[in-house]
Amino acid sequence: MTERILFLLFIKHAIADLGLQSQFLWGRTSSKYNYFGCHVHYLHHAIGTFLVFLLVDLRTACMAMVLDYVAHWHIDFLKHRTQVYMNWDRKDKAWWWLAATDQLLHFATYYLLVIYLL
């Protein structure tokens, strides 16, 4: 069951980060922390996590949903602020390392959710 949940979280991440994110990020501002479109993105992740953890039970699904929302918000915020502060974009090698670190932190979040909630 643990491996299945983790695999489903990876699928959810691909859908929310690659499929849905490009369709729902609008109205960019300099402060991602107050940016509504980003919270829609975090909500996509939270709802996806909720649906995956419903395979366990409702209480666990609710806890996982809240934890994923908060973790995703802070990971993405830190990535955004670092990118802006360092003035990195896709043409910079450092930007790609930052993006890789961002993804690694998201996958670590899923691993920790599975380890501690199951």
Band (21; pLDDT cuts 50, 70, 90)? confident
Taking the domains of the chain in order of start, what are their residue ranges?
2-117
Report the alpha-carbon distance of residue 28 to residue 12 in Å, rounded: 24
Give residue 31's pLDDT.
54
Can you tell me the mean pLDDT for 55-73? 98
Give residue 20's pLDDT.
83
* Cβ contact 98:87 at 8 Å: no
Give the chain's count of helices (H) and strands (E).
Answer: 5, 0
Query: Exposure string (b/e) for 46-72, b if CB count within 10 Å is 16 or more?
Result: bebbbebbeebeeebbebbbebbbebb
- Residue 33: pLDDT over 80: no
Average pLDDT of the residues of the chain = 91
Please give the model's pTM, rounded to 2 decimal places. Answer: 0.89
- Residue 110: pLDDT over 70: yes
